[in-house]
Amino acid sequence: MTDKYAQLVNQGLGRNVAKKLGLPQPAVLRRYEPGGPLITGPVLVQGGTVGADSLAAELLSWDLDVRRHAVPREKLGAILLVLDDVAQPEDLGKPVLSAAASLRDLAPGGRVITVSRPASDATSPAAAAARQGVDGLLRSLAKELRAGATGNGILLAPDVQATSPGALAAVRFFLSGRSAFVDGQFIRVSTAAGAAPPELEKPLKGRIAVVTGAARGIGAAIARTLHRDGATLVLVDIPAAGDQLAAVANEVRGTALQLDISRDDAGQRILEHAVQRHGRLDIMVHNAGITRDKLLANMDEARWNSVIDINIGAQLRINEALLGSEYFRASPRIVSVASTSGIAGNRGQTNYAASKSGVMGMVRATAPLLATHGGSINAVAPGFIETEMTARVPLVLREMGRRLNSLQQGGQPTDVAETIAFFASDSASGINGEVLRVCGQNLMGA
């Protein structure tokens, strides 16, 4: 779906009119292009810790132009603020204000990334206060950035350093155009596992992936992105979408499996299909879902049960089959599509919000089970994404959904797909049990 307003205000006369009237002026976002640079412009690494020094040295090895001290009026591609050893709130002032002096020099589409540690792991109230303070300052800063720039944070578990593979993978993701619509969010790196080599053209080469709900919209975008990154695909959707499913499968050179995932044997059917054709399964992407919206006072049993069963019940049953199979053992990855509705709620969507919030709970509880096999499970929570479904939203509500985020626009299906591809990669193996919002930092709710 095309955002005609955004196109208008990014052209000569429309740009001038919008500026004079104080209307939103959503920037053209910097998205990932294979073969393109990771970031354009120097990267400023701020912070006086050993972690900051080692991270700067690592970024130099990526052939990036790294600065340890700002050069006045030099346009910056990114600012990394390393706060990995703050012990009390007073420790925040010097590094944060030093970085603040360079914010006006951040180029369009630039990145601000904080590297810190979770408050929940702190051993003193003062350290917990300082660490939690990073959360508030980063989310507020992300709302101040302009011209398509984003701010995100990385949280390091106690045994993870700023240059651990998993941390470097998160840095690379946030620097890149893959994270264009991720803003004001944090990723916790729970273990030092992972890999962060220079950007690989085919990071999923040799991996076998299943994507449900793949016939259209976000599911089709996920299929195309995983194929671009080298994965071999099995695409699943209901028989009624058979023609569209076959078309997408042909496009990505995968196979199509017409299947209602609400069937009790859906997990076994998916496994059998993958094993018969490829000998195993490595990546499971739970994208399929439905909406049956009604105010709770008007909700009937059929609407409630169908949404719960397909959006979360089917995932639980499929995961149970996968976790019990010897063919899902080679660093297995599961990525689920949740929703910001499951975080902040949405009027008329009690059933949908319950199901998507349930996905998040499932992901957190399943993480230890995947870790025993060197695997991971994570969720992506999209906000307003430009799809056929959002095109049917009434005009006023649609425009509100687009503009009420820090980037003042709707995301694209590819934005969700890029985050899923990241979680599916070996680079992200140190990230487990996380929920990452792809919402442009929606201004309403959590």
Q: 431 and 302, same structural domain?
A: yes
Q: 22 and 50, same structural domain?
A: no
Structure confidence by residue, pLDDT tens digits, 16-64: 655 666 667 788 899 999 989 999 999 999 999 999 999 999 999 999 9
Q: 42 and 25, same structural domain?
A: no
- 110: domain CATH number is 3.40.50.720
Domain membership of residue 344 (yes or no) is: yes
Tell me the average pLDDT of the chain. 92
Single residue among 157, 189, 221 that ends a domain in this structure: 189
* CA 439 vs CA 23, 68, 103, 109, 319: distances in Å: 21, 31, 23, 16, 26
Q: 229 and 117, same structural domain?
A: no
Q: 42 and 26, same structural domain?
A: no
Q: Are 338 and 288 in contact (CB under 8 A)?
A: no
Strand boundaries in 226-310, DSSP class E? 232-237, 255-258, 283-286
Domain membership of residue 368 (yes or no) is: yes
Domain membership of residue 87 (yes or no) is: yes
Q: 122 and 13, same structural domain?
A: no
Average pLDDT on 200-227 reads 95
Q: 236 and 312, same structural domain?
A: yes
Number of domains in the chain: 3
Q: How high is the pLDDT of residue 389?
A: 72
Q: Annotated catalytic sites, by residue? A: 352
Single residue among 189, 224, 244 that ends a domain in this structure: 189
The residue assigned the tokens 């919209």 is: 217
Q: 252 and 365, same structural domain?
A: yes
Q: 98 and 145, same structural domain?
A: yes
In DSSP notation, 343-379 reads: HH--TTBHHHHHHHHHHHHHHHHHHHHHHTTT-EEEE
Domain membership of residue 408 (yes or no) is: yes
* CA 147 vs CA 28, 54, 74, 327: distances in Å: 8, 30, 17, 46
Tokens of 354: 């319950």
Structure confidence by residue, pLDDT tens digits, 57-87: 999 999 999 999 988 889 999 999 999 999 9
Triad 381, 222, 399: Cα angle to 5°: 55
Domain that holds residue 146: 38-189
Domain membership of residue 165 (yes or no) is: yes
Distance in angstroms (rounded) separating the CA atoms of residues 373 and 58: 29
Q: 399 and 294, same structural domain?
A: yes
- Residue 445 pLDDT > 50, yes or no? no
Q: How high is the pLDDT of residue 397?
A: 73
More confident residue, 187 or 397: 187
Q: 230 and 171, same structural domain?
A: no
Distance in angstroms (rounded) separating the CA atoms of residues 405 and 137: 17
Domain membership of residue 198 (yes or no) is: no
- Residue 129 pLDDT > 90, yes or no? yes
* CA 424 vs CA 85, 208, 220, 373, 431: distances in Å: 30, 11, 16, 15, 10
* Of 10-24, 84-98, 151-165, 239-253, minimum mean pLDDT range: 10-24
Tokens of 222: 């996920």
Structure confidence by residue, pLDDT tens digits, 282-299: 999 999 999 898 999 999
Q: 185 and 275, same structural domain?
A: no
Domain membership of residue 446 (yes or no) is: no
Domain membership of residue 200 (yes or no) is: no
